[in-house]
Chain A
Amino acid sequence: MSSAIVMKHIHFSYREKSMFNDVSVSFPQGEFTSLIGPNGSGKTTLIRHLIRQLTPTKGSLYLGNKEISSFNQKELARSLSYVPQYSPIEYDFTVYESVAMGRYAHQGRFSVLDSRDHSIIQDSLRMMNLDNLSHRNIIELSGGEYQRMLISRAIAQQSRIMVLDEPVSHLDIHHQKEILQLLRNLVDEKQVTVITTLHDLNAVSAFSDHVVMLLDGAIVAQGEVEHVLTKEKLEQVYNVEVDIEVFGHKPLILPRWNENQFS
């Protein structure tokens, strides 16, 4: 299995405080990888390294077989797209105009959107079921629609890798399922490498191929779902008692909210 991104022996400290101490991770190409771990475990720090918003103090990060620092900004955007945490803006671009921004990295200084760009934008909208909303102002979108718009914009970037930071944490289960299924389709149909942070462990189990588990800035485990989502590791990392049932080969995680829940 080849890797889309490889982090080798990453050290990172911020204001004298060590956040990562010799972290090595690889993200398999064309797979759905979830980053899990309690709040403050370093998920966001890891994501910010992947999108080059943070530079490691020591160690190296490869995208394909190139060092990430050797990319210029547009090259990076063509290789890797990023869907930030939900933070709506106040400017009333239409959905179409917003998604069209995804084409920026493919345009020259003097060029305008051509027919090929427009058909890519249309396809990206269709994949996220946004064709009917393309002329809607983005400030009028619901949380789920807004998230689909952001993902659609990332699709229009046509990068092989898509990184997402908590794409569903503000959504109800219906919209969580919708977004995660759409991301799953990207992996299955377009062989996009999806890397995302997720809090819901059962969603992780249902949708991921690969899981990276963090605690206190260190990787506790990485690998296939059933090897990472084990009772022992989950209890160690989250400090909560859990029961695990296995359906097919997907683990179902049942946290013990209180002592007599299952008695």
Chain B
Amino acid sequence: MKKGVRLGVILPVLLIVLALLFAYSLVVGAAGIEISKTLQILFTGRVYHATPAFSAAQHTIIWNLRLPRTLMALLVGSVLAVGGMVYQALFRNPMADPYVLGISSGAAFGVALGAYVGFLSGATGMWEVPAAAFGGSLLASLLIILLSGGTRRSQTTLLLTGIALNFFLSALMTLLMYLNRSQLQAIMQWTMGSFSSGSWDKVAILAVVSLITIGPLVLYTKELDILLLNEDAALSLGVSVKKVRLILLLLSTFGISVTVAFSGVIGFVGLMVPHIFRLITGPKHKNLLLLSLVGGPIITLASDIIAKTAVSPSELPVGVITALAGTPLFFILLVQYRRNR
């Protein structure tokens, strides 16, 4: 029995790591604000009152830039990790990740197309961008399901379909960028994720979205376990496979598309996090959900810290960091997978 590591041990450790990363993420940045001052600023509250201890600019940097950015990274990490976990169960494939399957690119394409046709031009509210992203990612999921023959065909077919879809969508995105040079910079941002645009509005929306997408999943952990079996077995155990799959697909796709709308495409978080915890505690989703919820933000926060510091004072897109860490794992999984056949 290799699942010796108990949830009661690993979860507190993860929470401590997460808390440290959270704190560190508030301290690092182009403007050097030391830890004691950062804490002081945090405790005085969101409204600035003139004080000799720190300047209004420093207060703004902590409260309106670093804190929302950090919170956004945290929420996006949770949604991406849990979303990846759900996709892996839905497609019965440990390599199924919203990025690998082209779902994230679908969301980014939705936003780019929205910007191009003018749906998102000018003073758009906070919900139009996520709506366009959701539309794009739903379309991508549908294409994936139809083209790969759903969940019955071989897993290689699924991955190849995802890769083809990614090629296609990235070609379309490039086309849109050429057709719409004024938006080039903005569209680029969605294809290479970043948390730098974090704001309180986005944090609020993401918090609501996380709650409505991850919340119901708590009630579906038994089904997620059983979906890993083949469809006949799942049905005969009493799971209404079609209905459950649809609910899970809509929930996770919605969550992922909103993260793409706000922070662009950040790949491989949904692949890495569930995989690592599956190795440690086994495939039961009751544990996996909780661990992904905490593990996702650890990856995104750590990646964001690297993105902010690696080439300081300039910044890297966070998607580059996660891809650099995630692709080797993907290769390892591929090799393992081929060996098992």
Partner-B contacts on A (CB < 8 A)? 51-53, 72-74, 76-78, 80-82, 84, 87, 89-94, 97, 101-102, 104-105, 107, 109-110, 135-137, 153, 157
Contact = CB atoms under 8 A, between A and B. Distances in A.
A97 B283 CA distance: 10
Name the 7 nearest CB pairs between A and B, nearest first: A77-B238, A105-B238, A82-B236, A74-B238, A91-B283, A73-B240, A91-B228
A104 B236 CA distance: 10
Contact of B237 (A53, A90, A105, A109): A105
B226 interface: yes
B185 to A, nearest CB: 44
Contact of A51 (B3, B235, B340): B235
Contacts of B340: 90
Given A93-B282, A101-B225, A101-B226, A84 B238 contact: no
Contact of A78 (B94, B233, B238): B238
Interface string B1-29: 11100000000000000000000000000
A84 B232 contact: yes
Interface of B: 1-3, 94, 219, 222, 225-226, 228-230, 232-233, 235-240, 282-284, 340
Contacts of B240: 72-73
Given A87-B230, A92-B282, A92-B283, A104 B222 contact: yes
B239 A93 contact: no
Contact of A89 (B229, B235, B239, B282): B229
A82 B234 CA distance: 10
Nearest to B94: A90
A68 to B, nearest CB: 13
Contact of B233 (A82, A91, A93, A94): A82
A160 to B, nearest CB: 14
A193 to B, nearest CB: 15
B282 A107 contact: no
Contact of B222 (A72, A107, A153): A107
B1 A135 contact: yes
Nearest to A87: B230
Contacts of A51: 232, 235-236
Contacts of B235: 51-53, 73
A93 B225 CA distance: 9
Contacts of B233: 82, 84
